[in-house]
Amino acid sequence: MELRLLGRVDYVPTYEAMQAFTAERQPDTPNQLWLCEHPPVFTQGLAGQADHVLMPGDIPVVQTNRGGQVTYHGPGQVMAYPLVNLQRGGYFVKEYVYKLEESVIRTLAHFGVTGHRVAGAPGIYVRLDDPFGHAALVGPAPAHDPFKGLGKISALGIKVSRHCTYHGAALNVAMDLSPFERINPCGYAGLKTVDLSTIGVITTWEEVAQVLAHQLTARL
């Protein structure tokens, strides 16, 4: 897998470049992993509803063809875009999503943080009261508040075209989290969003990007 470190790049040109790469790639085109961060932007997935964008203000809202609903991207967040031929890799979309989530979980573990999956809610979550504890989430979440006691630290949204993936995963490192209050993150009203900094992990964007790249390339 070829690794491309793009630095801070605007969202729309990056989105268009992923589409072009995927449309033009051949059966033997090497897979790539793009790592970057974006200036402030809200992105809507195919399932996104306009009323989940509460108050965008001066932050642009971009409609995309990825799965999922609205989320926010901004400085201090690692964006990982794997451009992978699933057919050549021999696995299906569900397994691919699992690999993405597992890569994020292992990256968090590198920094001592325990990441959790929540059934039916793609992405990775941490316990707000004990992000470093190893206790598993036990039992079904309360129907009225499936994220009780949890904060979302990583969002996932993918697109598959001709067996090839683009879009990917966002991992929050040290961000201005206030723009998340202008939306219902991933369509869930009141869902708290956190980053590594707010839960007490002091690191750099570059270190997290390096660890996440290693975890993704090992699995994909």
Quote the number of domains for the chain. 1
Nearest residue to 82 via CA among 185, 175, 159, 155: 159
Residue 14: φ, ψ to 5°: -70, -45
Domain that holds residue 215: 2-219
In this predicted structure, what is the pLDDT of residue 184?
Answer: 87
Contact by Cβ (8 Å): 74, 46:
no
Nearest residue to 123 via CA among 149, 93, 158, 89: 158
Q: Which two tokens stand for residue 114?
A: 């325990």
The distance from CA 49 to its chain's CA centroid, rounded to whole angstroms, is 19
d(CA 179, CA 74): 9
Helix, strand, or coil (residue 200):
coil
d(CA 163, CA 213): 22
In this predicted structure, what is the pLDDT of residue 139?
Answer: 63
Contact by Cβ (8 Å): 167, 66:
yes
Q: Residue 117 belongs to a domain with what CATH number?
A: 3.30.930.10
- Parallel, antiparallel, or unpaired for β 41-44 and 71-73? antiparallel
Nearest residue to 3 via CA among 220, 179, 155: 220
Sheet holding 164-172, edge to edge: 2-8, 32-37, 77-83, 164-172, 150-161, 121-127, 116-118
In this predicted structure, what is the pLDDT of residue 144?
Answer: 62
- Predicted TM-score (pTM) of the model is 0.95
What positions carry a catalytic annotation? 186
Q: What is the pLDDT of residues 4-60, one digit of tens each?
A: 999 999 999 999 999 999 999 999 999 999 999 999 999 998 888 888 899 999 999
Low-confidence ranges of the chain (pLDDT < 50): none
